[in-house]
Amino acid sequence: MQIGDLLGVALAASVMFLPLVVLHVGDIRAGQMAVPPYVGGFGGPNLPAPQASLMALLSQGIVGGHMAWPLIIVGAMLGFGMILMQVPSPMLVCVGMYINLGTTFAIFVGGVIRGIVNWIGKGRNHNAAQKARVENNGILIAAGLIAGEALIGLLFAALAFGNVHYATFLTSHFAFLPLGFWFALLVLLFLGWSLVQVPLWNAGKPDDPAPPSAVM
């Protein structure tokens, strides 16, 4: 197991080096092409890396002896209180405290969609097997959207890394398309509708065999 862990760390570090370089340099060049230009790269507005900043702050506080103990104690008490109140996802609340709203709002929207799915499933009197099928389908679709968004973001970074002015190309060749705020809002509403309806369509019949997650 230790040899496997060492090999995994070495291989992951060697593979992840190139995407990280593409993201960093690509965001810098995209910032230079933006109007007005901004300072990009890791730590910039698009790649703020809040978790890395938090870990650096904690490490400096431990090594330097200047740890903000009142804040840590308050956070520990808050987490303990949420556990006592049986909050479904206390970790999401804690993550939302140090990540900006633009990032955590997607988590909030996902929670609202999950709540809508549970509410509709409760109204349809889904049994444990149907609930498991709905949950499995919803998780698969959401995971696919997360992976697809990451790949598209990496593609845009690679285009910027290669000094490909894709924004100018799109505006010059596809000016007839409504690529604006309202079009993006319609796409978001369609994705939200799909995340609700597709899992519910695949709930199956009450007497269908239960999936493995329902058995466990």
pLDDT tens digits, one per residue of 94-113: 877 777 777 788 888 988 99
Report if pTM > 0.75. no
Same domain, 138 and 200: yes
- Give the end of a domain, one of 48, 64, 86: 48
pLDDT tens digits, one per residue of 147-168: 998 898 888 888 888 887 776 6
- Residue bearing tokens 């995971």: 143
- Spatial separation of the C-alpha atoms in residues 111 and 13, rounded to whole Å: 33
User: Domain residues for 195?
Assistant: 101-216
Residue 59 phi/psi, 5-degree rounding, is -65, -45
Same domain, 125 and 192: yes
- Spatial separation of the C-alpha atoms in residues 49 and 55, rounded to whole Å: 10
Contact between residue 114 and residue 138 where contact means Cβ atoms under 8 Å apart:
yes
Task: Please report, in angstroms and rounded to a whole number, the separation of the first and last CA atoms in the chain.
Answer: 27
